[in-house]
Amino acid sequence: MLPDYHWHTRRCGHAAGEMEEYLDLARAKGLKEIGFADHVPMYWLPAGKRDPGLAMSERELPIYVAQVTRLREENPDLTIRLGIEADYIPGQDEALRKLLAGHPLDYVIGSVHYLDDGWGFDNPSNRGEYTRRNLEEIYAAYFFLLQRAAQSGLFDIMAHPDLIKKFGYRPAGDLTSWYDQTASIFAGAGVCVEVNTAGLAAPAGEIYPALDFLMLCRRYGVPVVAGSDAHSPDQVGQWWKEALLWIKEAGYKEAATFAHRCRRMVPLE
Ligand SMILES: [Zn+2]
Ligand SMILES: [Zn+2]
């Protein structure tokens, strides 16, 4: 069974349920390997400007680490990984490196949720902005930032790599050249691509990334991992059959797993 490497916890302020419940659901769904990957503190903002509804505080990070470590000891029947989902903010590379250093993370998932000007484009309350901006420019800014994130060397896995389609706003033109360029940069940077099923619940109605994009990743030799982006226990391993089909359809024969930020490939079932 494909590991599910992308779970949130109540600490981020917008997820529900106890961590133990996530594990119960994983067992019920037959998952053997899973990973918590909660939102990293909003390290690029001064403490007073952070939104407790979007990410854990810096004070909570070591508690999160301890909690996942404890769950691992208490649940030896599951392989539990300690991950984190970290926003890429240009110019803040060192701040993020410092924040993550010293924690025994198994992997770091890199995300772009904000464009250069701070617009949190995947937040439903900011959705109106899509109708005020040029879609070609929005997509260009998104992919450019995602490429820089991959090249930063901070991340093992690039999350939901076409999240910009979340609300279903798509430019008229063909996106192949963005997909191709980004897949090639992922390969050069040595990062994995994440197949994230949360896109199926969003207005986009499609797994992240689009199949054409994933096929290009496979062609360039970018390894794949999967995540449900669960924000509540019932979303654990959600659309897992679809995720596996998507990955196979793109031509993959194996998926990546992580321990202590080292990658190992395992064959798909
Ligand atoms: Zn995300
Ligand atoms: Zn997430």
| Three-state secondary structure call for residue 1 | coil
Gap from CA of 83 to ligand 1 centroid (Å): 13
Gap from CA of 96 to ligand 1 centroid (Å): 16
Q: How far is 185 from 217, CA to CA, in rounded Å?
A: 10
Q: What is the pLDDT of residues 68-111, one digit of tens each?
A: 999 999 999 999 999 999 999 999 999 999 999 999 999 999 99
Average pLDDT, the chain: 96
% of the chain residues with pLDDT over 70: 100
Which listed ligand is nearest to 208 at the C-alpha?
A: 1
- First-last CA distance in the chain: 7
Q: How far is 71 from 48, CA to CA, in rounded Å?
A: 31
Gap from CA of 152 to ligand 1 centroid (Å): 18
- pTM to 2 decimals? 0.97
Is the confidence at residue 206, as pLDDT, over 90?
Answer: yes
Can you read off the two tokens belonging to residue 100?
Answer: 């993550």
- The whole-number pLDDT of residue 20 equals 96
Provide mean pLDDT across the span 152-165. 98
- The whole-number pLDDT of residue 253 equals 98
Contact 258, 34 (CB under 8 A): no
Gap from CA of 107 to ligand 2 centroid (Å): 14
Residues with CB under 5 A from ligand 2 (ion): 85, 229
Which listed ligand is nearest to 6 at the C-alpha?
A: 2
Residue ranges of the alpha helices (H) in 19-118?
19-29, 61-74, 93-100
Gap from CA of 175 to ligand 1 centroid (Å): 21
- The whole-number pLDDT of residue 79 equals 98
Gap from CA of 159 to ligand 1 centroid (Å): 6
Phi, psi of 267 (to 5 degrees): -65, 145
User: Given CA atoms 81, 215, 93, 199 in this order, what sign does their dihedral have?
Assistant: negative
From residue 126, give the alpha-carbon distance in Å to each of 28, 113, 114, 134, 138.
36, 12, 11, 15, 14
- H or E segment to which residue 243 belongs: helix 240-249
Is the confidence at residue 54, as pLDDT, over 90?
Answer: yes
From residue 169, give the alpha-carbon distance in Å to each of 28, 122, 135, 147, 161.
36, 11, 7, 21, 15
- H or E segment to which residue 240 belongs: helix 240-249
Gap from CA of 10 to ligand 2 centroid (Å): 12
Gap from CA of 90 to ligand 1 centroid (Å): 17
Gap from CA of 41 to ligand 1 centroid (Å): 13
Gap from CA of 39 to ligand 2 centroid (Å): 7
Q: What is the pLDDT of residues 223-263, one digit of tens each?
A: 999 999 999 999 999 999 999 999 999 999 999 999 999 99
Gap from CA of 42 to ligand 1 centroid (Å): 13
Residue ranges of the alpha helices (H) in 112-239?
135-151, 176-189, 211-220
Instruction: Tell me: cis bond preceding 209? Omega within 30 of 0 counts.
Output: yes
Which listed ligand is nearest to 163 at the C-alpha?
A: 1
Domain map of the chain by residue range?
A: 4-267
- The whole-number pLDDT of residue 158 equals 98
Provide mean pLDDT across the span 213-227. 98
- The whole-number pLDDT of residue 47 equals 87
Q: What is the pLDDT of residues 70-81, one digit of tens each?
A: 999 999 999 999
Gap from CA of 198 to ligand 2 centroid (Å): 9
Which listed ligand is nearest to 113 at the C-alpha?
A: 1
From residue 99, give the alpha-carbon distance in Å to each of 34, 62, 63, 103, 135.
23, 10, 14, 9, 34
Class level of CATH domain 4-267: alpha beta
Provide mean pLDDT across the span 21-47. 95
- pLDDT band, residue 34 (cuts 50/70/90): very high
Which listed ligand is nearest to 227 at the C-alpha?
A: 2
Is the confidence at residue 269, as pLDDT, over 90?
Answer: no
% of the chain residues with pLDDT over 90: 96
Contact 25, 238 (CB under 8 A): no
Indicate the pairing of strand 33-39 with strand 4-7.
parallel
